[in-house]
Amino acid sequence: MADISRRKLLLAGGALGAMGALNVVSPAHAWTWNSRGSIAATDSVRDPRFVWDGQVDPVIASLLDRGGVPAVNATLRPWVYNGQRVPSGLPADVQGIVDMARTLPSWADLRKLDIAYRFATKRGLYLGVLYGMNSGMMSAAIPREARAVYWSKGGADIRDRIAKTAKLGYDIGAYHAYRPDGKMIVTCVKTRLTHSAVRHLLPQSSHWRASADEQIPISQYDILVTWHSLASSVMQKLDEWGVRIPSDERDAYLHLWQVTASMLGVDDEYIPVSWEQAEQQRQQVLVPLLARTDEGVKLADMLVNLGEYIDFTLVTQPIFEAVTRYMLGDTVTDMLELTRRPILEKTVEEAWPIFVRIREAGLPIPLAPTIYSAFEELIRLFALFYLNPFQQINIDIPTGNNPDYEH
Protein backbone atom coordinates (compact mmCIF):
# COMPACT_ATOMS: atom_id res chain seq x y z
CA MET A 1 0.00 0.00 0.00
CA ALA A 2 2.89 2.36 0.75
CA ASP A 3 4.26 1.84 -2.76
CA ILE A 4 0.93 2.66 -4.35
CA SER A 5 0.48 5.65 -2.06
CA ARG A 6 3.81 7.07 -3.18
CA ARG A 7 2.71 6.67 -6.77
CA LYS A 8 -0.56 8.43 -6.01
CA LEU A 9 1.39 11.30 -4.49
CA LEU A 10 3.53 11.51 -7.62
CA LEU A 11 0.43 11.52 -9.81
CA ALA A 12 -1.15 14.14 -7.59
CA GLY A 13 1.96 16.28 -7.84
CA GLY A 14 1.88 15.86 -11.61
CA ALA A 15 -1.77 16.84 -11.67
CA LEU A 16 -1.06 19.98 -9.63
CA GLY A 17 1.78 20.81 -11.96
CA ALA A 18 -0.53 20.24 -14.89
CA MET A 19 -3.04 22.65 -13.44
CA GLY A 20 -0.31 25.27 -13.33
CA ALA A 21 0.83 24.35 -16.81
CA LEU A 22 -2.67 24.84 -18.15
CA ASN A 23 -2.32 28.51 -17.33
CA VAL A 24 0.70 28.88 -19.58
CA VAL A 25 -0.32 26.72 -22.53
CA SER A 26 -0.41 29.04 -25.53
CA PRO A 27 -3.71 29.27 -27.43
CA ALA A 28 -1.95 27.83 -30.48
CA HIS A 29 -1.14 24.65 -28.57
CA ALA A 30 -4.35 24.31 -26.56
CA TRP A 31 -6.22 21.03 -27.03
CA THR A 32 -9.34 21.77 -29.07
CA TRP A 33 -9.94 18.50 -30.93
CA ASN A 34 -13.40 17.19 -30.03
CA SER A 35 -14.03 13.52 -29.33
CA ARG A 36 -17.06 13.63 -31.66
CA GLY A 37 -14.47 12.75 -34.30
CA SER A 38 -13.20 9.77 -32.34
CA ILE A 39 -13.96 6.07 -32.11
CA ALA A 40 -15.94 6.85 -28.94
CA ALA A 41 -18.08 9.49 -30.73
CA THR A 42 -18.63 11.35 -27.46
CA ASP A 43 -18.50 15.13 -26.95
CA SER A 44 -15.40 16.05 -24.98
CA VAL A 45 -12.27 18.18 -25.22
CA ARG A 46 -10.54 16.55 -22.23
CA ASP A 47 -6.84 17.32 -22.65
CA PRO A 48 -4.81 14.11 -23.16
CA ARG A 49 -1.63 15.82 -21.92
CA PHE A 50 -2.87 15.11 -18.42
CA VAL A 51 -4.08 11.55 -18.99
CA TRP A 52 -1.69 8.62 -18.56
CA ASP A 53 -2.46 4.91 -17.98
CA GLY A 54 -4.53 4.76 -14.82
CA GLN A 55 -4.91 0.98 -14.80
CA VAL A 56 -1.31 -0.01 -15.46
CA ASP A 57 0.79 2.77 -13.91
CA PRO A 58 0.14 2.06 -10.19
CA VAL A 59 0.86 -1.66 -10.66
CA ILE A 60 4.16 -1.15 -12.51
CA ALA A 61 5.23 1.57 -10.06
CA SER A 62 4.60 -0.84 -7.18
CA LEU A 63 6.43 -3.63 -9.03
CA LEU A 64 9.48 -1.40 -9.53
CA ASP A 65 9.48 -0.20 -5.94
CA ARG A 66 9.37 -3.74 -4.57
CA GLY A 67 12.12 -4.96 -6.94
CA GLY A 68 9.94 -7.43 -8.82
CA VAL A 69 10.71 -6.39 -12.41
CA PRO A 70 13.58 -8.85 -13.20
CA ALA A 71 11.43 -11.83 -12.23
CA VAL A 72 8.50 -10.55 -14.29
CA ASN A 73 10.75 -9.97 -17.30
CA ALA A 74 12.10 -13.51 -17.02
CA THR A 75 8.57 -14.91 -16.79
CA LEU A 76 7.29 -12.93 -19.78
CA ARG A 77 10.30 -13.47 -22.06
CA PRO A 78 9.03 -16.79 -23.55
CA TRP A 79 5.64 -15.19 -24.28
CA VAL A 80 5.85 -14.35 -27.99
CA TYR A 81 2.66 -15.25 -29.86
CA ASN A 82 -0.79 -13.79 -29.30
CA GLY A 83 -2.39 -17.20 -28.90
CA GLN A 84 0.06 -18.41 -26.27
CA ARG A 85 -1.11 -18.62 -22.69
CA VAL A 86 0.54 -16.02 -20.51
CA PRO A 87 3.27 -17.89 -18.58
CA SER A 88 2.34 -18.75 -15.01
CA GLY A 89 4.18 -17.25 -12.09
CA LEU A 90 3.33 -13.56 -12.48
CA PRO A 91 2.31 -11.61 -9.36
CA ALA A 92 -1.46 -11.35 -9.17
CA ASP A 93 -1.56 -7.61 -9.80
CA VAL A 94 0.69 -7.92 -12.86
CA GLN A 95 -1.33 -10.89 -14.15
CA GLY A 96 -4.45 -8.74 -13.90
CA ILE A 97 -3.12 -5.87 -16.02
CA VAL A 98 -1.59 -8.25 -18.60
CA ASP A 99 -4.93 -10.03 -19.01
CA MET A 100 -6.66 -6.67 -19.37
CA ALA A 101 -4.09 -5.23 -21.78
CA ARG A 102 -4.04 -8.25 -24.11
CA THR A 103 -7.77 -8.01 -24.85
CA LEU A 104 -8.63 -6.52 -28.24
CA PRO A 105 -11.10 -3.61 -28.17
CA SER A 106 -14.70 -4.62 -28.81
CA TRP A 107 -14.73 -2.65 -32.07
CA ALA A 108 -11.69 -4.42 -33.58
CA ASP A 109 -12.51 -5.92 -36.98
CA LEU A 110 -10.26 -8.87 -37.88
CA ARG A 111 -11.46 -8.79 -41.47
CA LYS A 112 -10.21 -5.23 -41.84
CA LEU A 113 -6.94 -6.20 -40.20
CA ASP A 114 -6.47 -8.92 -42.81
CA ILE A 115 -7.05 -6.33 -45.55
CA ALA A 116 -4.40 -4.15 -43.90
CA TYR A 117 -1.94 -7.00 -44.38
CA ARG A 118 -2.84 -7.10 -48.07
CA PHE A 119 -2.03 -3.40 -48.22
CA ALA A 120 1.31 -4.01 -46.49
CA THR A 121 2.28 -6.74 -48.96
CA LYS A 122 1.87 -4.30 -51.84
CA ARG A 123 3.37 -1.19 -50.23
CA GLY A 124 5.76 -2.68 -47.69
CA LEU A 125 8.84 -1.02 -49.17
CA TYR A 126 7.25 2.43 -48.88
CA LEU A 127 6.18 1.67 -45.31
CA GLY A 128 9.67 0.51 -44.35
CA VAL A 129 11.32 3.61 -45.80
CA LEU A 130 8.75 5.92 -44.23
CA TYR A 131 8.82 4.27 -40.80
CA GLY A 132 12.60 4.58 -40.74
CA MET A 133 13.62 7.75 -42.56
CA ASN A 134 10.45 9.76 -42.10
CA SER A 135 8.78 8.72 -38.86
CA GLY A 136 11.90 7.42 -37.11
CA MET A 137 13.95 10.53 -37.77
CA MET A 138 10.96 12.79 -37.08
CA SER A 139 10.88 11.40 -33.54
CA ALA A 140 14.15 13.21 -32.84
CA ALA A 141 12.37 16.49 -33.65
CA ILE A 142 9.51 15.76 -31.23
CA PRO A 143 10.82 17.43 -28.05
CA ARG A 144 9.15 15.31 -25.38
CA GLU A 145 9.84 12.05 -27.20
CA ALA A 146 13.48 12.97 -27.82
CA ARG A 147 14.03 13.83 -24.15
CA ALA A 148 12.24 10.70 -22.94
CA VAL A 149 14.29 8.42 -25.20
CA TYR A 150 17.62 10.13 -24.52
CA TRP A 151 17.40 10.18 -20.73
CA SER A 152 15.70 6.78 -20.31
CA LYS A 153 17.47 3.44 -20.58
CA GLY A 154 16.93 3.38 -24.35
CA GLY A 155 19.26 6.35 -24.80
CA ALA A 156 22.23 4.30 -23.61
CA ASP A 157 21.99 1.76 -26.44
CA ILE A 158 20.33 3.32 -29.46
CA ARG A 159 20.84 0.22 -31.55
CA ASP A 160 18.86 -1.88 -29.07
CA ARG A 161 16.24 0.87 -28.76
CA ILE A 162 15.78 1.03 -32.54
CA ALA A 163 15.66 -2.77 -32.77
CA LYS A 164 12.73 -2.82 -30.36
CA THR A 165 10.97 -0.05 -32.25
CA ALA A 166 11.63 -1.92 -35.51
CA LYS A 167 10.08 -5.03 -33.96
CA LEU A 168 6.82 -3.16 -33.43
CA GLY A 169 6.96 -1.91 -37.02
CA TYR A 170 7.67 -5.43 -38.26
CA ASP A 171 5.00 -7.14 -36.14
CA ILE A 172 2.27 -4.67 -37.11
CA GLY A 173 2.83 -5.42 -40.79
CA ALA A 174 3.20 -9.19 -40.45
CA TYR A 175 0.68 -11.82 -41.49
CA HIS A 176 -2.12 -12.25 -38.93
CA ALA A 177 -0.62 -9.50 -36.75
CA TYR A 178 -3.53 -9.57 -34.29
CA ARG A 179 -4.65 -13.17 -34.76
CA PRO A 180 -3.46 -16.03 -32.49
CA ASP A 181 -0.45 -16.86 -34.70
CA GLY A 182 0.70 -13.23 -34.83
CA LYS A 183 2.81 -11.30 -32.32
CA MET A 184 1.39 -7.79 -32.23
CA ILE A 185 -0.78 -8.18 -29.12
CA VAL A 186 2.22 -9.37 -27.11
CA THR A 187 4.40 -6.60 -28.52
CA CYS A 188 1.81 -3.97 -27.59
CA VAL A 189 1.36 -5.31 -24.07
CA LYS A 190 5.11 -5.34 -23.41
CA THR A 191 5.45 -1.86 -24.90
CA ARG A 192 2.62 -0.60 -22.70
CA LEU A 193 4.30 -2.01 -19.59
CA THR A 194 7.58 -0.39 -20.66
CA HIS A 195 5.90 2.99 -21.13
CA SER A 196 4.44 2.69 -17.65
CA ALA A 197 7.85 1.93 -16.15
CA VAL A 198 9.38 4.95 -17.89
CA ARG A 199 6.64 7.14 -16.40
CA HIS A 200 7.75 6.05 -12.94
CA LEU A 201 11.50 6.12 -13.57
CA LEU A 202 12.15 9.27 -15.58
CA PRO A 203 10.85 11.70 -12.92
CA GLN A 204 13.67 10.31 -10.75
CA SER A 205 16.27 11.59 -13.25
CA SER A 206 17.56 15.06 -12.43
CA HIS A 207 18.74 15.40 -16.04
CA TRP A 208 15.28 14.72 -17.44
CA ARG A 209 13.62 16.98 -14.86
CA ALA A 210 15.97 19.81 -15.80
CA SER A 211 15.04 19.66 -19.48
CA ALA A 212 11.43 18.43 -19.44
CA ASP A 213 8.34 20.64 -19.59
CA GLU A 214 6.12 17.98 -17.98
CA GLN A 215 6.02 16.18 -14.63
CA ILE A 216 5.22 12.71 -15.96
CA PRO A 217 6.31 11.55 -19.44
CA ILE A 218 4.45 9.60 -22.11
CA SER A 219 0.97 11.02 -21.63
CA GLN A 220 -1.77 9.94 -24.01
CA TYR A 221 -1.05 13.17 -25.89
CA ASP A 222 2.57 12.06 -26.35
CA ILE A 223 1.46 8.66 -27.65
CA LEU A 224 -0.88 10.40 -30.10
CA VAL A 225 1.98 12.56 -31.36
CA THR A 226 4.02 9.42 -32.07
CA TRP A 227 0.95 7.75 -33.61
CA HIS A 228 0.63 10.62 -36.07
CA SER A 229 4.34 10.56 -36.88
CA LEU A 230 3.66 7.00 -38.05
CA ALA A 231 0.11 6.38 -39.32
CA SER A 232 -1.01 9.85 -40.44
CA SER A 233 2.38 10.97 -41.73
CA VAL A 234 2.78 7.78 -43.74
CA MET A 235 -0.62 8.20 -45.42
CA GLN A 236 0.09 11.89 -46.06
CA LYS A 237 3.35 10.95 -47.82
CA LEU A 238 1.75 8.21 -49.90
CA ASP A 239 -0.89 10.68 -51.06
CA GLU A 240 1.82 13.24 -51.80
CA TRP A 241 3.62 10.67 -53.98
CA GLY A 242 0.45 9.94 -55.91
CA VAL A 243 0.13 6.34 -54.70
CA ARG A 244 -3.41 5.23 -55.46
CA ILE A 245 -4.72 3.11 -52.61
CA PRO A 246 -8.09 1.32 -52.84
CA SER A 247 -10.55 2.70 -50.30
CA ASP A 248 -10.90 -0.60 -48.44
CA GLU A 249 -7.12 -0.82 -48.00
CA ARG A 250 -6.90 2.82 -46.93
CA ASP A 251 -9.62 2.25 -44.32
CA ALA A 252 -8.02 -1.01 -43.20
CA TYR A 253 -4.62 0.62 -42.68
CA LEU A 254 -6.27 3.25 -40.48
CA HIS A 255 -8.07 0.50 -38.56
CA LEU A 256 -4.77 -1.29 -37.98
CA TRP A 257 -3.38 1.81 -36.31
CA GLN A 258 -6.63 2.52 -34.45
CA VAL A 259 -6.43 -0.93 -32.87
CA THR A 260 -2.74 -0.40 -32.11
CA ALA A 261 -3.43 2.91 -30.37
CA SER A 262 -6.03 1.18 -28.21
CA MET A 263 -3.69 -1.70 -27.42
CA LEU A 264 -1.06 0.81 -26.30
CA GLY A 265 -3.53 2.23 -23.79
CA VAL A 266 -4.98 5.23 -25.64
CA ASP A 267 -8.59 5.96 -24.70
CA ASP A 268 -11.20 5.64 -27.47
CA GLU A 269 -12.10 9.32 -27.15
CA TYR A 270 -8.69 10.28 -28.59
CA ILE A 271 -8.50 7.78 -31.48
CA PRO A 272 -9.60 9.41 -34.77
CA VAL A 273 -12.52 7.69 -36.47
CA SER A 274 -11.47 8.61 -40.03
CA TRP A 275 -8.46 9.82 -42.00
CA GLU A 276 -10.07 13.26 -42.21
CA GLN A 277 -10.29 13.44 -38.42
CA ALA A 278 -6.78 12.03 -38.12
CA GLU A 279 -5.43 14.80 -40.35
CA GLN A 280 -7.23 17.44 -38.30
CA GLN A 281 -5.71 16.02 -35.14
CA ARG A 282 -2.25 15.71 -36.74
CA GLN A 283 -2.27 19.36 -37.71
CA GLN A 284 -2.91 20.24 -34.06
CA VAL A 285 -0.75 17.78 -32.13
CA LEU A 286 2.22 17.05 -34.38
CA VAL A 287 2.96 19.69 -37.00
CA PRO A 288 3.27 22.74 -34.64
CA LEU A 289 5.20 20.68 -32.08
CA LEU A 290 8.31 19.83 -34.10
CA ALA A 291 11.33 21.65 -32.69
CA ARG A 292 15.03 21.40 -31.96
CA THR A 293 16.31 20.03 -28.67
CA ASP A 294 19.86 19.16 -27.66
CA GLU A 295 18.67 15.62 -26.99
CA GLY A 296 17.05 15.40 -30.42
CA VAL A 297 20.21 16.53 -32.20
CA LYS A 298 22.24 13.90 -30.34
CA LEU A 299 19.70 11.18 -31.14
CA ALA A 300 19.64 12.15 -34.82
CA ASP A 301 23.42 11.89 -34.91
CA MET A 302 23.24 8.43 -33.34
CA LEU A 303 20.61 7.34 -35.86
CA VAL A 304 22.48 8.44 -38.97
CA ASN A 305 25.62 6.79 -37.66
CA LEU A 306 24.09 3.37 -37.02
CA GLY A 307 26.16 2.07 -39.93
CA GLU A 308 29.36 2.35 -37.90
CA TYR A 309 28.54 -1.03 -36.39
CA ILE A 310 29.45 -2.76 -39.63
CA ASP A 311 31.99 -0.27 -40.99
CA PHE A 312 30.12 1.30 -43.88
CA THR A 313 29.13 4.61 -42.29
CA LEU A 314 30.77 6.65 -45.04
CA VAL A 315 28.49 4.99 -47.58
CA THR A 316 25.26 4.93 -45.61
CA GLN A 317 25.36 8.23 -43.72
CA PRO A 318 25.27 10.59 -46.74
CA ILE A 319 22.52 8.55 -48.41
CA PHE A 320 20.55 8.30 -45.17
CA GLU A 321 20.78 12.05 -44.65
CA ALA A 322 19.80 12.84 -48.25
CA VAL A 323 16.75 10.54 -48.19
CA THR A 324 15.71 11.86 -44.76
CA ARG A 325 15.94 15.44 -46.00
CA TYR A 326 13.75 14.52 -48.97
CA MET A 327 11.20 12.89 -46.66
CA LEU A 328 11.09 15.52 -43.91
CA GLY A 329 12.11 18.71 -45.72
CA ASP A 330 14.71 21.31 -44.82
CA THR A 331 12.95 22.82 -41.80
CA VAL A 332 12.90 19.62 -39.73
CA THR A 333 16.25 18.26 -40.91
CA ASP A 334 17.91 21.60 -40.15
CA MET A 335 16.48 21.31 -36.63
CA LEU A 336 18.29 17.97 -36.39
CA GLU A 337 21.48 19.50 -37.81
CA LEU A 338 21.78 16.93 -40.59
CA THR A 339 24.54 17.66 -43.07
CA ARG A 340 23.35 19.02 -46.39
CA ARG A 341 24.24 16.81 -49.38
CA PRO A 342 23.24 18.92 -52.43
CA ILE A 343 24.17 16.42 -55.14
CA LEU A 344 22.67 13.41 -53.40
CA GLU A 345 19.59 15.38 -52.37
CA LYS A 346 18.97 16.44 -55.96
CA THR A 347 19.41 12.84 -57.11
CA VAL A 348 16.94 11.52 -54.54
CA GLU A 349 14.46 14.29 -55.29
CA GLU A 350 14.45 13.41 -59.00
CA ALA A 351 14.81 9.62 -58.74
CA TRP A 352 12.31 8.72 -56.02
CA PRO A 353 9.14 9.87 -57.84
CA ILE A 354 10.29 7.98 -60.94
CA PHE A 355 10.90 4.86 -58.86
CA VAL A 356 7.42 5.14 -57.32
CA ARG A 357 5.75 5.52 -60.73
CA ILE A 358 7.61 2.51 -62.16
CA ARG A 359 6.85 0.38 -59.12
CA GLU A 360 3.17 1.33 -59.10
CA ALA A 361 2.91 0.60 -62.82
CA GLY A 362 4.16 -2.92 -62.17
CA LEU A 363 1.57 -3.78 -59.51
CA PRO A 364 -1.11 -4.97 -61.98
CA ILE A 365 1.33 -7.50 -63.44
CA PRO A 366 0.49 -11.04 -62.20
CA LEU A 367 2.61 -12.10 -59.20
CA ALA A 368 4.19 -8.63 -58.91
CA PRO A 369 2.73 -7.95 -55.42
CA THR A 370 3.95 -11.38 -54.26
CA ILE A 371 7.43 -10.75 -55.60
CA TYR A 372 7.55 -7.26 -54.09
CA SER A 373 6.39 -8.64 -50.75
CA ALA A 374 8.99 -11.43 -50.71
CA PHE A 375 11.78 -9.01 -51.53
CA GLU A 376 10.64 -6.54 -48.89
CA GLU A 377 10.33 -9.32 -46.30
CA LEU A 378 14.00 -10.11 -46.85
CA ILE A 379 14.87 -6.44 -46.34
CA ARG A 380 12.89 -6.30 -43.09
CA LEU A 381 14.44 -9.50 -41.75
CA PHE A 382 17.91 -8.23 -42.64
CA ALA A 383 17.23 -4.95 -40.83
CA LEU A 384 16.14 -6.77 -37.67
CA PHE A 385 19.17 -9.07 -37.89
CA TYR A 386 21.51 -6.11 -38.39
CA LEU A 387 20.05 -4.25 -35.44
CA ASN A 388 20.12 -7.23 -33.08
CA PRO A 389 22.12 -10.11 -34.64
CA PHE A 390 21.90 -13.69 -33.38
CA GLN A 391 19.40 -12.94 -30.63
CA GLN A 392 15.67 -12.61 -30.16
CA ILE A 393 14.49 -9.04 -29.66
CA ASN A 394 12.89 -8.82 -26.22
CA ILE A 395 10.92 -5.85 -24.96
CA ASP A 396 11.75 -5.92 -21.26
CA ILE A 397 10.45 -3.61 -18.56
CA PRO A 398 13.34 -1.27 -17.63
CA THR A 399 14.55 -0.96 -14.04
CA GLY A 400 16.44 2.32 -14.42
CA ASN A 401 17.17 5.30 -16.62
CA ASN A 402 20.13 5.89 -18.93
CA PRO A 403 22.96 4.46 -16.81
CA ASP A 404 25.38 7.03 -18.23
CA TYR A 405 23.19 9.80 -16.75
CA GLU A 406 21.43 7.99 -13.92
CA HIS A 407 21.29 10.80 -11.41
Q: Is residue 5, in this structure, part of any structural domain at all?
A: no
> What is residue 28's predicted lDDT score, i.e. its pLDDT?
54
Q: Is residue 297, in this structure, part of any structural domain at all?
A: yes
Give every CB contact of residue 260 below 8 A, 6+ residues apart in sequence.
172, 184, 188, 227
The pLDDT > 70 percentage for the chain reads 83
Residue 318 has pLDDT above 90, yes or no: no
Domain count, the chain: 1
Q: Is residue 121, in this structure, part of any structural domain at all?
A: yes
pLDDT in tens, 343-385: 989 998 988 888 888 888 866 555 445 544 554 554 554 454 4
Q: Is residue 398, in this structure, part of any structural domain at all?
A: no
> What is residue 7's predicted lDDT score, i.e. its pLDDT?
40
Eight-state DSSP code of residue 157: -
pLDDT in tens, 15-41: 333 333 333 445 557 899 999 999 999
Q: Is residue 232, in this structure, part of any structural domain at all?
A: yes
Which residues share a beta bridge with 272?
38
Q: Is residue 327, in this structure, part of any structural domain at all?
A: yes
Angle at 237 between CA 236 and CA 243, to 5 degrees: 100
For residue 396, what are the CA distances in angstroms to 73, 108, 392, 403?
6, 27, 12, 16
DSSP annotation string for 117-149? HHHHHHHHHHHHHIIIIIIIHHGGGSHHHHHHH
Question: To the nearest whole number, what is the mean pLDDT of the chain?
Answer: 85
Q: Is residue 348, in this structure, part of any structural domain at all?
A: yes
> What is residue 357's predicted lDDT score, i.e. its pLDDT?
87
Residue 166, helix vs strand vs coil: helix
Q: Is residue 73, in this structure, part of any structural domain at all?
A: no
Task: Residue 216: give the domain boundaries.
Answer: 108-391
pTM of the model as a whole: 0.86
pLDDT higher for 12 or 160?
A: 160
> What is residue 227's predicted lDDT score, i.e. its pLDDT?
97
Q: Per-residue confidence at 403, pLDDT binned at 50, 70, 90?
A: confident
> What is residue 363's predicted lDDT score, i.e. its pLDDT?
60
> What is residue 311's predicted lDDT score, i.e. its pLDDT?
45
